[in-house]
A and B are shown apart, each in its own frame.
Chain A
């Protein structure tokens, strides 16, 4: 168990609908990352938040949006859903740490169990 939780585990909806996926990071982690895993595209980065602020964006569609709340949980909103949006959506969390030389170390990311979205 990574300590990252995601709800719901499964979601089935129709084209054109809107859904919200929820992620709770590990205790103490400030960064949340969202990834999409599909058969043809593999694991693709969508968006990163750090302590409530957007930090980086990947190939996230304009129909998708996310936010991170003061309690550090994050939500990914997917709207005007299309068949091609069917995929596994993962959330990962991490915390920065200092290297022995004082510089910022790259975070280790811990993944949640994912939400399987099926668009019919």
Chain B
């Protein structure tokens, strides 16, 4: 089955700096790659996703890039703010199937 690895497990940045989280996947048939943000005591919240037919997607301060050949994808957050502090999960799936999640990254934005 699919295996998703996520790095780093913890990341601390100064407010205003950029943060990058990287994931690799094993199943070349995976075609959907969402990113979720989870705050303490809450469920995962979708923040951005990318499908295998595009290489990059951007939504304001958040961007995701996908390299299908290398089977890796990354989350980029620019101009970080304290409210960006949370656990971020990457995931991968095939059409209409369950998500396989990475192990999560605890992002701390220091004021």
Contact = CB atoms under 8 A, between A and B. Distances in A.
Interface of A: 2, 4, 31, 33, 35, 42-45, 48, 50, 56, 58, 90, 92, 96, 103-114
A8 B11 CA distance: 33
Interface string B38-75: 00001111100101000000000000000000000000
Contacts of A112: 43
Given A43-B44, A108-B34, 17 more contacts: A31-B96, A35-B99, A42-B101, A42-B103, A42-B104, A43-B104, A45-B98, A48-B97, A48-B98, A56-B97, A90-B44, A96-B96, A104-B95, A105-B51, A106-B31, A111-B43, A113-B43
Interface residues of B, number: 24
A16 B34 CA distance: 37
B24 interface: no
Interface of B: 31-32, 34, 36, 42-46, 49, 51, 89, 93-104
A106 B98 contact: no
Contacts of A114: 42-43
26 contacts: A2-B43, A31-B96, A42-B104, A44-B101, A45-B99, A48-B97, A50-B96, A56-B97, A58-B98, A90-B44, A96-B96, A104-B96, A105-B51, A105-B95, A106-B31, A106-B32, A106-B94, A106-B97, A108-B34, A109-B34, A109-B46, A111-B36, A111-B43, A111-B45, A112-B43, A114-B43
Contacts of B43: 2, 4, 90, 111-114
Contacts of B46: 108-111
B40 to A, nearest CB: 11
Nearest to A114: B43
A106 B95 contact: yes
A42 B91 CA distance: 12
